[in-house]
Amino acid sequence: MSQRKFTEHLQAQFFDLIGGVIEKKGRHVAQSYFYILRPMNDSSAAAVSKYSDLLAKVMKETPDNTFFIKLLKSTIDDLQVMEKGREASRTWLS
Amino acid sequence: MFLTIIASGSITDISTQHLVLEALFTSARNEDHIEMLVKWFDSGFVHDSNGQKLDIEISKKHKHSIMERIWSSEKMSLQFKEEMMAKLAKIDKSDWLDNTQKVCEAAHPENKEKMWKEYFNLGEDSQCADWGLLHF
């Protein structure tokens, strides 16, 4: 079954909690947490802005945390590519 | 689509059949599909869309995959899911069972919030600590 409707309301917490995991856990664990739990269902501009806001916060507060910054930047890239693909599909189907 | 491919009999190679079946299980996204898989689990064989038994056996590994789909069901009761898990535990007590039990616990719709809290409970009292998830 699609689990999206059960997890959607929890996903906003990801942006508040992932920083703590990155800070406390080693690279391998933190990376697994990030990639497994990051919300990727929605590729709209509003969803991308959640990552952009977190990226801006991290770059301001801990600019040396390149590991976290790279994770966020790559996710924004992934979502933008996904959105382009979805847009192309919508155009093709219309 | 995957059932049509399997039922056509065009795939005779066992490992290819296995892969197509795994793809079929992953694609089982509604309650009708899951009910069909329960039937397959109990009979031990694949059935076509008319319910006709095919000469394709459901392996232990397949049963683990089916169990994960069963536990993601919204309509099936927890009691039924536990009964199905008990059936699986009777036929396989390997490491797969432990893994499947954990996946199923997280797949059960009512457990989503509980599991999310567990993931972010980084203390040693976390259930995830036993999984080795917090160590590297």
The residues on A that touch B, with CB distances below 8 Å, are 1-3, 6-7, 10, 13, 17, 20-21, 24-29, 32-33, 37
Number of A:B CB contacts under 8 A?
42
Question: Is residue B73 in a domain?
Answer: yes
Q: Check: CB of residue B105 under 8 Å from CB of residue B95.
A: no
Q: List the single residue in B72, B74, B122 with the smallest CB-CB distance to A21.
A: B122
Question: Is residue B120 in a domain?
Answer: yes
Q: What is the complex's ipTM, to 2 decimals? A: 0.73
* Residues of A whose CB is below 8 A from B30: 1
- Sorting pLDDT into bands at 50, 70 and 90, what band is A7? confident
Question: Which pLDDT score, from 0 to 100, does residue A50 have?
Answer: 95
The total number of structural domains in chain B stands at 1
Q: Distance between CA atoms of A42 and B61, rounded to whole angstroms?
A: 32
Q: Distance between CA atoms of A27 and A19, rounded to whole angstroms?
A: 12
Assessment of whether the complete model's pTM goes beyond 0.80: no
Q: Residue B79: which domain range? A: 2-131
Q: Distance between CA atoms of B25 and B19, rounded to whole angstroms?
A: 10
Mean pLDDT score, B131-136: 59
Q: Distance between CA atoms of B1 and B22, rounded to whole angstroms?
A: 13
Q: What is the pLDDT of residues B51-70, one digit of tens each?
A: 888 888 899 999 999 999 99
Q: Is the dihedral of CA A35, B111, B129, B64 positive or negative?
A: negative
> Which of B92, B102, B105 minimizes the C-alpha distance to B62?
B92
Per DSSP, B52 falls in state P
* Residues of A whose CB is below 8 A from B111: none
**B55-78 CB burial, b ≥16 within 10 A, e <16:** ebebeeebbbbbbbbbbbbeebee
* Residues of A whose CB is below 8 A from B107: 3
Q: Quick check: A1 and B29 CB within 8 A?
A: yes
Per mean pLDDT, which range of A49-53, B4-8, B34-38, B89-93 is the poorest? Answer: B4-8
Listed by start position, the domains of chain A span 4-93
Percent of chain A with pLDDT over 90: 71
Question: Which pLDDT score, from 0 to 100, does residue B129 have?
Answer: 66
